Structures are given as C-alpha cells and as structure tokens.
Copies of this chain bind each other. A is one copy, B any other.
C-alpha cells in the first residue's frame, strides 16, 4: 500500500482531459478528496479560489496538441499557445502553492509533462521547447523546495492512451501500429492508469527522497532524462 490518502486533499488541473480523468479517479479510489479543476489561464482570482488553502497534493496536468510543423513553418499563434497553455500556467500554479507549502512544512507537486524533449521530435520543436521548459522548471523548483519537505517531480510520458495526443482512432490505424513496432521497445501504448499509479507513488508519504526528478514513462522510447 502506498499510504492512506483518506485525509489528503488533491487538486488535479485539466481534470477532464489528458491524464486528468485517470488521476482524479485513482486518487478518489484511494480515499482522497479530489478537486477536479478545469481552468485554463489560472489568473490570480482563479488561483485563490482553487488553491486556498493549498492542497496536500497538486497535480499540474496541462495539455495542448503538439501543433506539428516544420521549423520554418511554425506559426506565431501556435508557438505562443503552447507556452500559454503549458509553461506559464505551470509557473503560476507552483508559485501560488509554494509559499503556503513552505510555511506548512510539506507538500507534493506532480507535473504531467512529456518525454518529447528528452529525445527530441522533428516537426514538433515548439512542443518540445514548451515541454522542455516545464521539465527544467520542475527540476529547478524540485531542488529548491526539497529542504522544505516539499517534493516536486514530473512524469515525462509518451505512448500512453489519452484524448489529446493518442485518441483511440489514431491508435487503431495501421500506420500508427507500424510506427509503434518500429520505435517503442514495449511495442504498445499503455493505459492512462499507469500514469495515475506513478503519480500515486510520487504523492505517497514513502516518497520523500525523490525530488526535481523527470521520470520518463514511455515504454522505453526515452530512458534518459532531459
């Protein structure tokens, strides 16, 4: 058992997309009180409503389609939307809870990011840049907040079933199945519950020594961190 979550408050962002549903459901099954949030911008007002008082566990689950394009064809609007959807809200959310968590002397922050920047994906350089900014931010804040007994880590996933990047009809295509066999050592896409269980491990009281870590979860597609 990873610990009793019945007294734990958990906030999950983008609760109705990407890894939100699977994570919310699992923490609820474990007895936690889960706030399923579906904000986007995280203005000061929204943050106050959502994060006062700071939850025991904050799961920053942010998603935006990869907006693929050759680097010479990147659209300013696409580029900006990646940073506005993925990077800036992550900072705002972490910034808001860091102070109260420091005062309280504990806290868990888990970001659901991507393995894309760990390997690099042609025609997805904007997406890689934004996810890379997230991962670097998590590493730095994880080291900074460790001494306050706050654990900040990221799950850098790929090839996990979800509505944003791997919807069911894509997974079923012959082309995708061939791609999977060629580049993913595990030869398959995993269920979203895998991410939820890793988040549960990271949120447990038995995980205090792992901080600032970017954890690849990608069927072996990427195993070195970035």
Contacts and interface: CB of A to CB of B under 8 A. Distances in A.
Contact of A71 (B119, B122, B144): B144
A166 to B, nearest CB: 12
A88 B133 CA distance: 12
Given A197-B207, A206-B194, A142 B120 contact: yes
Contacts of A193: 206
Contact of A1 (B1, B72, B140): B1
Contacts of A98: 70-72
Contacts of A139: 117, 119-120, 128, 132, 223, 226
Interface residues of A, number: 80
A81 to B, nearest CB: 13
A182 interface: yes
A135 B137 contact: no
B91 A74 contact: yes
A185 B220 contact: no
Nearest to A224: B224
Interface in A100-122: 102, 116-122
Interface stretch (A10-18, A33-41, A211-219): A211-219
